[in-house]
Amino acid sequence: MTVSAERAEYYDRLKPHSLAPLWEILAKLLTTKPTTRSLPCLWRYEDSRPLLIESGKLITAEEAERRVLVLENPGLAGEGSTTEALYAGLQMILPGEVAGAHRHTASAFRFIIEGDQAYTAVDGEKAYMSAGDLVLTPNWAWHDHGHDGKQPMIWLDGLDIPLVKYFGTVFTEHYSEKQFPANRPSGSSYGTFGHNLRPVDDSFDEDYSPIFHYPYPESRKALDAMAGSRDPDPKRGWAMEYIDPTSGGPIMPTLSAFLSLLPSGFKGKTRQTTEAQIFSCAEGSGRTIIEQENGDELVFEWQARDQFVIPIWYPHRHETNEDSVLFSFSDGGVQKLLGLYREAP
């Protein structure tokens, strides 16, 4: 719509008063369906891994604080974001290195891609991590990373940084020492709270999940048990959500995480959802077919250790070449809390 000279002159006189005419932007603000600047994108591990390994020669974990290559969405270039609300990155820690203790209002988790004998310490308890494990560092929990092993350790970091930044509520604190003092044996949180039991003295008084380590063999066994006892979901296969056992809800208020088993030859039905999803393939290979606005289909051929992002409202479906396991995380839980979540039937 072209603006008449009379209106243009009026709009100019509004500006010094910090006023703007809604009628010029209303259709852009209240769209008939979701719009996103994020683009679907695939990161092949065979491309990312050598570049991440190279970073090990350029900078230490100590200097970097966190040696991470951000999975930066090409539609959000320069913003350090993977979707409007979510951040993902590939972090590497080398034997003997320490990524020092800090805490922040952003919530985080890591999903292990490669390596073992490195740990994340949360509030003074070390979780030794292996491929496929999920480890949480909730909002304002002290955490540091270290590595007692011999090979590079690489994991996917998932955080809600863009969402927290949107509110402006970013706070970060660095601990006075390199590492937060150890105060519990490694594995004690999962050992105590990870078996459908709760101490009768109810001693856990944080407002986040008492479990911060979800070992892959246990999650994988749950998928197998589910697969042995029911049909797969036509869109998502045998899909499980990781939960905070005290609430039964998402692992953290702003981050939801899932693990799904898709059988060999799976041809999923199309899913269209308001949750933005970031996937990491844990096992197998297949493809995800994404319908674009112009009707063209985009095909991401993925295999173990690859990551890809499906932004909000893009219709997509998964197919497999073999039994495959997909890890994913999303902002679906926080959308549900706010009454915003929708999924097409």
For ligand GTQ, the binding residues (CB under 6 A) are: 66, 68, 89, 91, 104, 108, 143, 157, 159
Q: Least distance to ligand GTQ from the beta carbon of 179, Å?
A: 13
Please say which residue, 106 or 326, places its beta carbon nearer to ligand GTQ.
Answer: 106
Q: Least distance to ligand GTQ from the beta carbon of 68, Å?
A: 4
Q: Return the bridge partners of 241, or none.
A: 258
Q: What is the three-state SS of 236-269?
A: CEEEEECECCCCCCECECCEEEEEEEECCCCECC
Q: Least distance to ligand GTQ from the beta carbon of 100, Å?
A: 10
Please say which residue, 146 or 311, places its beta carbon nearer to ligand GTQ.
Answer: 146
Q: Pick the closest to residue 298 from 290, 287, 310 (CA basis).
A: 290
| CA–CA separation, 27 and 18 (whole Å) | 21
Q: Least distance to ligand GTQ from the beta carbon of 280, Å?
A: 14
Please say which residue, 8 or 182, places its beta carbon nearer to ligand GTQ.
Answer: 182
Please say which residue, 90 or 326, places its beta carbon nearer to ligand GTQ.
Answer: 90
Q: Select the residue whose beta carbon is closest to ligand GTQ and give its number.
A: 157
Please say which residue, 69 or 298, places its beta carbon nearer to ligand GTQ.
Answer: 69
Q: Least distance to ligand GTQ from the beta carbon of 307, Å?
A: 13
41-43 sheet: strands from edge to edge: 41-43, 307-310, 277-283, 324-330, 256-262, 238-241
Residues 6+ apart with CB under 8 A from 13: none
Please say which residue, 123 or 157, places its beta carbon nearer to ligand GTQ.
Answer: 157
HSE toward the beta carbon, residue 345, CA cutoff 13 A = 0
What SS3 state is found at 10? Answer: helix
Please say which residue, 126 or 143, places its beta carbon nearer to ligand GTQ.
Answer: 143
| CA–CA separation, 149 and 94 (whole Å) | 8
Q: Least distance to ligand GTQ from the beta carbon of 216, Å?
A: 19
| Strands 153-159, 277-283: pairing kind | unpaired
DSSP single-letter state for residue 5: H
Q: Least distance to ligand GTQ from the beta carbon of 155, Å?
A: 9
C-alpha dihedral sign at 41, 43, 47, 51: positive
| Residue 99 near residue 61, CB atoms below 8 Å | yes
Helices (H), the chain: 5-14, 26-29, 45-58, 61-64, 161-167, 188-193, 216-227, 332-337
CA-to-CA separations, 177 to 142, 173, 174, 182, 321, in angstroms, rounded = 12, 12, 8, 12, 49
Q: Least distance to ligand GTQ from the beta carbon of 102, Å?
A: 6
Please say which residue, 108 or 129, places its beta carbon nearer to ligand GTQ.
Answer: 108
Please say which residue, 94 or 108, places its beta carbon nearer to ligand GTQ.
Answer: 108
Q: Least distance to ligand GTQ from the beta carbon of 109, Å?
A: 10
